[in-house]
Amino acid sequence: MGRIRNNFWGLSALGIGLLFIWAGIHRGEVFTVWNKAIYICLECIGIG
Amino acid sequence: MDRKQGTKQGRLRLGVQMIFAALTNGYVAGFLQGKIYQGTSKQLCLPGLNCYSCPGALGACPIGSLQAVLSSRNYGFSFYIVGFFLIIGALVGRLVCGWLCPFGLVQDLLHRIPLGKKRKKLPGHGWLRWLKYGVLGILVILLPLFVVDEVGQGSPWFCEYLCPSGTLFGGWPLLLVNEGLRSVAGWLFAWKNLILVALILLSVAVYRPFCQYFCPLGAVYSWFNKISLYRYQVDLKSCVNCGICQKSCPLDLPVFQIPNSGECIRCGKCKAVCPTGAIQSRFFPGNNEIIKGSPLERM
């Protein structure tokens, strides 16, 4: 129990993170990320 | 545990940084042909500041991805990227900065150049270190979210006007090979190169100036250092307050007093040089970060 109490906030953040990832995938955010990442981002490389 | 241990540990970290950077940027054809990887692995974010327009990148940049989602007219919040930050932060905190970030590796290598006087921090460090939170709040979150065009689409302000990682890992490799891109490079590329050159020069003298003062990803992970499952601990029964940990720390942090400072990139040098082994790191520790006691209790 001591170990869990000592790591309560870390475990909570991990659990919420997993829920958020699931929600993000469910909302289709992954496609937005992928769509941005597979084409050359002119702003990112400094072309504008 | 001494200086030799510190050097050995430094070599190990450098090896891990190089291998991780090579593995996550291993699309060699991209460098040769001036194009970027388009596979499904780019749905996943890499933990460090790794530009997804780097020709070799096999994953997405979390800061670029956050701006992409926030600036999209479909979303006002990114569960996917915030969830990613929560998971990485909860597991290891800023260990990512010290061991897995390719732009951190570049700054580490630059700082090894034996040129001029080496400094751990800039004058005004106390308030300059807060700049990274401003960069995160303004350039990464607020401007992409609220400065939008007529169809509700925003821009990735941090990538566009500040990110030196994009210029170095994305801009230069692509422009060297791709003539079409070279022909359209204008004042913005000049501006970003000015930032990159300034940071390169500064990195030779000061340890990791971008990480310490500007990196929004470091700002995010810094909130997790105290609560992450992987944490540092100082055993006061062994600690003799010699201060060697602070002297050896490249960021000049008083590890024996604040073992999980938000500024710590968990390079591990303090652990390696501690003469009494009082500094430990554990995954899922059972004790508090400071284990109370006094060296007298050992006798």
Tell me the percentage of chain B whose pLDDT exceeds 70: 97
Residue numbers of B between 133 and 162 with CB closer than 8 Å to A: 155-156, 159-160
Do residues B69 and B163 share a domain? yes
Residue B286 to residue A5: CA distance in whole angstroms: 9
Specify whether B57 is located in the same domain as B111. yes
Contact B267, B250 (CB under 8 A): yes
Residue B287: the pLDDT is 79
Those residues whose C-beta lies under 8 Å from the C-beta of residue B204, and which sit 6 or more positions away, are B110, B111, B113, B115, B116
Residue B4 lies in a domain: no
Q: What is the mean pLDDT of residues B204-223?
A: 98
B98 part of a folded domain: yes
**A interface residues, B as partner, C-beta within 8 Å:** 2-3, 6-7, 9-11, 13-14, 16-25, 27-41, 43-48
Q: Which domain-ending residue is among B196, B222, B248?
A: B222
Instruction: Determine, yes or no, domain membership for B13.
Output: no
Q: Which residue has the tokens 């909860």?
A: B90
Residues 162-201 of B with CB under 8 A from A: 163, 166-167, 170-171, 174-175, 181, 184-186, 188-189, 191-193
Closest Cβ–Cβ partner in B45, B86, B284 for A13: B86
Query: Domain with B253 in it: what CATH number?
Result: 3.30.70.20
Q: Decide if pLDDT at B263 tops 80.
A: yes
How many beta-carbon pairs below 8 A join chains A and B? 178
Element (H, E) at B281: strand B279-283
Same domain, B193 and B217: yes
Domain-located, residue B10? no
- Residue B11 within any structural domain of the chain: no
Chain B CB contacts of A10 under 8 Å are 90-91, 224, 227-229
CA distance B107 to B100: 13
Read off the pLDDT band of B69 (50, 70, 90): very high
Mean pLDDT of B128-139: 98
pLDDT on residue B55: 95
The whole-number pLDDT of residue B6 equals 75
The answer to whether residue B22 is domain-embedded is no
HEC per residue, chain A: CHHHHHCHHHHHHHHHHHHHHHHHHHHCHHHHHHHHHCCCCHHHHCCC
Q: Are residues B81 and B190 in the same domain?
A: yes
Domain that residue B275 falls in: 230-298
**Domains identified in chain B, total number:** 2
Q: Write the CA distances from B115 to B90, B118, B205, integer angstroms.
A: 38, 8, 8
- For the stretch B239-261, pLDDT in tens is 999 999 999 999 999 999 999 99
Whether residue B2 lies inside any domain: the answer is no
Do B261 and B142 fall into the same domain?
Answer: no
- Domain co-membership, B110 together with B257: no
Q: Which of B222, B248, B278 is the last residue of a domain?
A: B222
B158 & B217 share domain: yes
- B41 in a structural domain: yes
B18-39 confidence digits (pLDDT tens): 999 999 999 999 999 999 999 9
Q: In the listed set B166, B191, B222, which residue is the last one of a domain according to the structure?
A: B222
Residue B11: per-residue pLDDT? 94
pLDDT at B284 over 70: yes
Could you say which of B38, B80, B227 has the minimum Cβ distance to residue A9? B227
Among partner residues B57, B69, B188, which is closest to A48 by beta-carbon distance? B188
Asked if A34 lies within 8 A of B156 by C-beta distance, the reply is no
Q: Which residues of chain A have pLDDT under 50?
A: none
Residues of A within 8 A of B89 (CB-CB) are 13, 17
The verdict on B237 and B111 lying in the same domain is no
On whether both B184 and B272 belong to a single domain, the answer is no
The answer to whether ipTM exceeds 0.90 is yes
Indicate whether B71 and B149 sit together in one domain: yes
Q: Are residues B165 and B215 in the same domain?
A: yes
Please report residues of A whose CB lies closer than 8 A to that of B52: 36-37, 41, 44
**Chain center to CA of A48:** 26
Same domain as B110, residue B44: yes
pLDDT of residue B4: 75
Mean pLDDT of B48-52: 95
pLDDT of B283 over the 80 cut: yes
Q: Which of B38, B53, B91 sits opposite A44 (nearest CB)?
A: B53
Q: Is B122 left (phi over 0), alpha (psi -120 to 50) or beta?
A: beta
Q: Name the residue among A13, A24, A41 with its Cβ closest to that of B227.
A: A13
Q: Give the residue from B290, B275, B136 showing the smallest Cα distance to B217.
A: B136
- Give the distance from residue B11's alpha carbon to the nearest chain A alpha carbon, in angstroms: 30
